[in-house]
Amino acid sequence: MNTSLQHGIVYYPKSKNRGDDIQSYAALLLTEDAVLCDREHLNDIDKPTKLLCNGWFMTNGANWPPNHKVNPLFLSFHISSKSQRELTSPSSIAYFKQHQPIGCRDTHTLKLLQEHNISSFLSGCLTLTLPKYTGKRGDDILFVDVMRTNYKSSYRKAMVSRMIPKKFKNKIEFVTHFSEDMKSQNSQERLNEAKFLLDRYKKSRVVFTSLIHCALPCIALGTPVVFIDAGFNNNQAKRDRFGGVIDLFPVHLHIDLPFGKRTFLNKLARRSGFYRLFLHKIKPIDESLFNLKETKPTHIKMAKNLKKCVRNFFS
């Protein structure tokens, strides 16, 4: 590699979500000698850098676009509602056109860019390129952040408990992607934790989750996965990442939560515990889903294209 030109991948130091690190880990596996570049400060990069620019963008739109020394490959790229105004400003549109085509992680981002006449395509998520696991699986049944985490823990626990069939009540292991400890960990420790999670997922019997960056890696790893769509229907901005993504999941369940909306009366019902009178409306997950044997390989074409794009860019 030319010593005057560095390869880079996107990393978010302030994240409390292991899903961000899983995306960085997937990018790291596809690049050679890559440096970690802070997602929120790509404008501060002062060295010529070929950057694999994937993931959720961004918390601080004022720091966009990246420095002129950055040559980005936009792949698995998502524009969040949080910074949509800055990332669709005239200067941003001009920047995207300079580096098009843009590989979009979801149909929301794809439509948004196409509305501005930017050449773009649906690339899917980079985590789909994780290597498939062909070894022996254990008997672990994992529940990974089932339900959106913006609800109070007492409400979430009550709902999730109702979702689990009685015969599996004592066979579930609960896992979370969210950790305050990430703030005190260095990048290597965090990437090791991401790898540890992936090692758990690949050897599990089945995984239930409401996180796309748990479900998508499971698909790539070949682990049976069930996506639980619970709590996202109360905020459209939280669903903008789903288009073209949840189509890849072999099973997709929708759970209509009692008093799960964002209105004052719904919040009052959750805080007072009144919702408990309606828990019977939550039906247990079909027992057959605990015995899934494989995932559908609908992602393979997308994963191959992702690898090809990265290979051609860094060659």
**235 pLDDT exceeds 70?**
no
CB atoms inside a 10 Å sphere around CB 44:
11
Look at residue 1 in the predicted model and tell me its pLDDT.
Answer: 46
Instruction: Name the fold adopted by 141-291.
Output: Rossmann fold (3.40.50)
Domain spans of the chain, in order of start: 6-126+300-314, 141-291
Query: How far apart are the C-alpha atoms of 172 and 143, rounded to whole Å?
Result: 7
Q: Report the pLDDT averaged over residues 5-27.
A: 97
266-276 per-position pLDDT tens digit: 999 999 999 99
Query: How far apart are the C-alpha atoms of 210 and 132, rounded to whole Å?
Result: 21
30-47 per-position pLDDT tens digit: 998 999 999 999 999 999
Percent of the chain residues past pLDDT 90, beyond the cut = 86
Percent of the chain residues past pLDDT 70, beyond the cut = 97
52-85 per-position pLDDT tens digit: 999 999 999 999 999 999 999 999 999 999 999 9
Query: How far apart are the C-alpha atoms of 78 and 304, rounded to whole Å?
Result: 20
> Is the model more confident about 81 or about 2?
81
Q: ∠ CA(223), CA(56), CA(263), 5° rounding?
A: 90
Up-side HSE of residue 131: CA atoms within 13 Å toward CB?
8
Residue whose C-alpha is closest to residue 149's, from 202, 214, 60: 214
138-194 per-position pLDDT tens digit: 999 999 999 988 899 999 999 999 999 999 999 999 999 999 999 899 999 999 999
Confidence of residue 237 (pLDDT cuts 50, 70, 90): low
Look at residue 297 in the predicted model and tell me its pLDDT.
Answer: 84
Look at residue 251 in the predicted model and tell me its pLDDT.
Answer: 83
Q: Give the list of residues 6+ apart from residue 95 with CB closer than 8 angstroms, or none.
A: 65
Residues 134-160 as b or e (16 or more Cβ within 10 Å = b): eeeeeebbbbbbbbbbebeeebbebbb
Look at residue 236 in the predicted model and tell me its pLDDT.
Answer: 65
101-148 per-position pLDDT tens digit: 999 999 999 999 999 999 999 999 999 999 999 999 999 999 999 998
CB atoms inside a 10 Å sphere around CB 311:
11
Query: How far apart are the C-alpha atoms of 214 and 125, rounded to whole Å?
Result: 12
Whether the model clears a pTM of 0.85, i.e. scores above it, the answer is: yes
Q: Report the pLDDT averaged over residues 259-265.
A: 92
DSSP 3-state percent helix, strand, coil across the chain (nearest 5): 45, 20, 35
Mean pLDDT over all residues of the chain?
Answer: 94
Q: Report the pLDDT averaged over residues 294-304.
A: 90
H/E stretch holding 304 reads: helix 300-314
Which phi and psi angles does 158 have, rounded to 5°?
A: -65, -40
- Encoded tokens for 116: 């501005």
- Encoded tokens for 85: 């105004």
